[in-house]
A and B are shown apart, each in its own frame.
Chain A
Amino acid sequence: MPGELDLAFVLRLVPYRDADLVVTLLTQHHGLISLMARGARKSQKRFSGALDYLTLIRATFKKPRSGMGTLTAAESARSYEKIRGDLAGYHLAMHFFEVTRLATREGDDANEPFLLLGHLLTLLERGGDRTSALRIFHLKTISHLGYAPSELACASCGAGLHESEAHLHEGGLICPPCGAGSGAPLSKGAVNSIVRATALPYENFSSFKLSMQVEREIGPVVEAALIRALGAEPRSLEQLHEMLKA
């Protein structure tokens, strides 16, 4: 059996026994898969140094109907060398990988998260704005999980939110009357940025820039919404905050 061939990002590497690795991949056409890479820590022959984070790989694998499949070969299709040499970029990318793994299940169609990762890594590799990349990622992930605002309308009563303040709640944006009692609403500018980032086409990522003021306003709210949508706080978030501050 020759096995399946697909492009993939490495989301998680866990050492197993003396020389093996359990590899979690986000593939373009097969979604999220966990595979055993036998001898991967000892032999570079079949994996040619490609089995690491921040590398887009061409993966060859065998996936049985049940149980864990085997990664039989991997070669590098693209390496994100500039992110490897940038501590904040590295922490950001690791956060992307962790959140993507938490937000995706085996069997899900993962083409959208795959394309999102690819475009965001390219943006970081080209020196794009890190904070804007982070918020685009958070909002698109929340949206992918079905919790984000897709339009400027209240998720509770349907009222239009053009040129209006709003709250970001589970399920989307809520107009001030519906969100009464949940603190100060977000400003009009912040609401517009949230909706724009959520719907932003991949090719426009580099042109999206959050002002510091809007970031201060939406950052904590978006992260709280992400944690609610994931059902857990990503472990990489605390370190990421430290690195982005430095």
Chain B
Amino acid sequence: MLARPIKNLIRELRKLPGVGEKTATRLALHILTAPPERAENLAHALTEVKERIVPCKECHQLTEDSPCAICASPRRDRTLLCIVEDQVSLISIENSGNFNGLYHVLGGRLSPMDGVGPSSLNIPDIKDRVRNLGVREVILATNPNVDGEATALYIKRLLEGTGAAVTRIARGVPMGGDLEYADSLTLGRAIDGRGTF
């Protein structure tokens, strides 16, 4: 029923994560009915991102220039290194405005069931980075779930003997939360990880 180019577009859109048949069809029809320059801009943006974006040779975040703006900035504290799973976590921490050190993006986390081990991630060069930069503190900011904890544990072991202090982001009750509604696991960890007030 649909013309071949439309079918092709739907097929390609369906390959995107979280996009099913209906969403792909809706997006394809939207692109078709939108002004021509919008489709051209989208096509240009897709091509440009693939041509110009590379992983930073230092921290592995996706960037136009390598080293990235964070790694190249003289205003960042080079003795603080924050290890995150992915670009999204890096953006979230940057948006908090509370961190002025450097990052190291792992490109995922340990996931034995998916065959993802340390060698599949940007883990092997962490130790050299810590030594070369003279890092005094490494902050492990992997997600607080079982796989993220295992990844943090692996890196902590890897960094033994480097002289850098290894810390873990705090876990516990969120701001604006109510203890009455906190689950026992989160509350237990909040108590375990309490800080001096």
Which residues of A pack against B, CB within 8 Å? 12, 16-18, 44-45, 48-50, 52-55, 75-76, 79, 84-85, 87, 90-91, 94-95, 97-98, 235-236, 238-240, 242
- Are A85's CB and B113's CB within 8 A? no
Q: B149 contacts which chain A residues (CB < 8 A)?
A: 84-85
Of all chain A residues, the one with the shortest Cβ separation from B156 is A87
* A45 cross-chain contacts in B, Cβ below 8 A: 181
A235 vs B114: C-alpha distance when bound (angstroms): 6
Residue positions of B touching A, CB distance < 8 A = 18, 110, 112-115, 117, 145-147, 149-150, 153-154, 157, 181, 183-186
Tell me the complex Cα distance, A17–B18, Å: 5
Chain B residue numbers with a CB within 8 Å of A239 are: 110, 112, 115, 117
Chain B's nearest CB lies how many Å from the CB of A40? 11
- With A91-B112, A235-B112 known to touch, is A76 a contact of B184 (CB < 8 Å)? yes
A134 CA to B3 CA in the complex, in Å? 55
What residues on B are CB-neighbors of A54 within 8 Å? 146
* Contact, CB under 8 Å: B183 / A98: no
Q: Give which listed residue, B112, B147, B183, contacts A240 with CB less than 8 A.
A: B112
Compute how far the CA of A132 lies from the CA of B139 in the bound complex, rounded to whole angstroms: 36
Q: How far is the CA of A49 from the CA of B189 in the complex (A)?
A: 11
Closest CB in chain A relative to B148 CB, distance in Å: 10
Residues of B within 8 A of A236 (CB): 112-113, 115
User: In the complex, are the beta carbons of A76 and B183 less than 8 A apart?
Assistant: yes
From A75, A79, A85, A242, contact of B117 by CB (8 A): A242
User: A238 to B117, Cβ gap below 8 A?
Assistant: yes
Is there contact, CB below 8 Å, between A16 and B146? no
Contacts of B147 in A (CB 8 A): 53
* 10 residue pairs, one from A and one from B, having the closest CB atoms: A48-B183, A236-B112, A235-B115, A94-B112, A53-B146, A17-B18, A239-B117, A49-B183, A239-B112, A98-B113
Report yes or no: A49 in contact with B186, Cβ–Cβ below 8 A. Answer: yes
Q: Provide the bound-state CA to CA distance between A239 and B181, in Å.
A: 38
B112 touches A50 (CB 8 A): no
B146 near A95: Cβ-Cβ < 8 Å:
no
Residues of A within 8 Å of B184, CB to CB, are: 76
Residue contact B157 to A87, C-beta cutoff 8 Å = yes
Chain B residues near A79 (CB-CB < 8 A): 185
A–B pairs, 8, beta carbons within 8 Å: A16-B18, A18-B18, A53-B145, A76-B183, A84-B150, A90-B153, A94-B112, A97-B113
Give complex CA distance A45, B181 in Å.
Answer: 8
The interface residues of chain B lying within 8 Å CB-to-CB of A98 are 112-113
Give the shortest distance, in Å, between B166 (CB) and chain A (any CB): 15
Q: Which residues of A contact B114 (CB under 8 A)?
A: 235
Residues of A contacting B117 in the complex (Cβ-Cβ under 8 angstroms): 238-239, 242
Chain B residues whose C-beta falls within 8 Å of the C-beta of A95 in the assembled complex: 112
Is B185 touching A238 in the complex (CB atoms < 8 A)?
no
Measured CB to CB, the nearest residue on chain A to B114 is A235
When the two chains form their complex, are residues B146 and A52 in contact, meaning their CB atoms are under 8 A apart? yes
Knowing A17-B18, A50-B183, the reply to whether A12 touches B145 (Cβ < 8 A) is no
User: Which residues on B sit within 8 Å (CB–CB) of A85?
Assistant: 149, 153
- Residues of chain A lying within 8 A (CB to CB) of residue B183: 44, 48-50, 75-76
A90–B149 CA distance with the chains assembled, in angstroms = 10
Complex alpha-carbon distance, A2 and B183, angstroms = 22
Q: For residue B153, which residues in chain A have a CB less than 8 angstroms away from its CB?
A: 85, 87, 90
Contact B150 A90 (CB under 8 A): yes
Query: Which residues of B lie under 8 Å from residue A76 when comparing CB positions?
Result: 183-185
Q: How far is A47 from B145 in the complex, measured between Cα atoms in Å?
A: 13
Contact of B18 with A94 in the complex, beta carbons under 8 Å:
no
Report the separation of the CA atoms of residues A213 and B126 in the bound assembly, to the nearest whole angstrom. Answer: 37
Question: What separation, in Å, do the CA atoms of A97 and B145 have in the docked complex?
Answer: 16
Query: Shortest Cβ distance from B119 into chain A, in angstroms?
Result: 9
How many angstroms between the C-alpha atoms of A97 and B149 in the bound complex? 17
Task: For A86, give the chain B residue with the smallest CB separation.
Answer: B153
